[in-house]
Structure 1
Amino acid sequence: MLNNTNGLDQVLGGLMRRYKERVPDVQGVINAMVSEGVIRDGDEIENDHIAFRTMGVPQLGIRSLEKIFLHYGYKRMEHYFFPEKKLDAYWYAPPAEKYPRIFISELRVKDLSPEAQRIITSYTDEVTADPVGQLNLDDAEAVDRFLHSGLWRTPSLQDFKALAKESEYAAWVIYNRYYLNHFTVSVHNLKEGYDTIPLFNAFLERNGFVLNDAGGKMKTSPDGLLSQSSTVARMVLAGFAGGEQEMIAGSYVEFAERKVKEAFRDLPKAEIKREHRREGFEAGNADKIFESTYSTQTQKAI
Structure 2
Amino acid sequence: MTPEEFFSSLWTDYVAMAPQAQQIRQAFESQGETVSNDHVAFRTLGLEPIGIERLEPHVLALGYRQLEPYEFPSKKLRAYGYVSDAPDAPRIFLSELKVEELSAEAGEILRRCASQVDATKVESPEVLWSGRLWDPVTWDEYQLLASESEYAAWVATLGLRPNHFTINVNQLTQTTEIEEVLQVVEGLGYAVNDSGGRVKGSPAQLLEQGSTMADRMQVDFAGGEQHEVPTCYYEFAKRYPDSTGKLFPGFVATSADKIFESTDNK
TM range (shorter): over 0.9
Paired with 1:262 and 1:159, the residues of 2 have a C-alpha distance of 49
| Count of residues paired in the alignment | 266
* Bigger radius of gyration among the two: 1
Match in the other structure for 1:127: 117
1:202/1:262 CA distance change after superposition, 3 Å? farther
**TM-score (norm: length of structure 2):** 0.93
Paired-residue identity, %: 39
Q: Does 1:26 align with 2:26?
A: no
Pairwise CA distance, 1:262: 4.5
Paired with 1:176 and 1:97, the residues of 2 have a C-alpha distance of 32
Which protein is richer in strand relative to its size? 2
Pairwise CA distance, 1:198: 1.9
Pairwise CA distance, 1:146: 6.2
Pairwise CA distance, 1:221: 4.7
Pairwise CA distance, 1:203: 2.1
**TM-score (norm: length of structure 1):** 0.83
Tell me if the contact between 1:236 and 1:249 (Cα under 8 Å) persists in the aligned partners: yes
- CA deviation vs aligned residue, 1:153-187 (integer Å, no higher than 9, x gap): 22222211111111110000001111110000001
Paired with 1:148 and 1:290, the residues of 2 have a C-alpha distance of 21
- CA deviation vs aligned residue, 1:105-153 (integer Å, no higher than 9, x gap): 00000011111111111211123747434x4xxxxxxx33663253212
Paired with 2:93 and 2:77, the residues of 1 have a C-alpha distance of 12
Paired with 2:69 and 2:5, the residues of 1 have a C-alpha distance of 27
Q: Does 1:277 align with 2:258?
A: no
**Which residue among 3, 10, 15 is the counterpart of 1:8?**
3
1:101/1:53 CA distance change after superposition, 3 Å? same
Any gaps of 5 or more consecutive residues in structure 1?
1-5, 136-142, 265-275
Paired with 1:130 and 1:104, the residues of 2 have a C-alpha distance of 20
Paired with 2:104 and 2:201, the residues of 1 have a C-alpha distance of 36
Paired with 2:131 and 2:17, the residues of 1 have a C-alpha distance of 14
Tell me if the contact between 1:221 and 1:285 (Cα under 8 Å) persists in the aligned partners: no
**Structure 2 counterparts to residues 228-267 of structure 1, below 5 A:** 228-264=209-245
Q: Does 1:190 align with 2:160?
A: no
Q: Report the RMSD for the aligned CA atoms in angstroms.
A: 1.9
User: Aligned partner of 1:282: which letter?
Assistant: V
**Which residue among 205, 212, 221 is the counterpart of 2:193?**
212
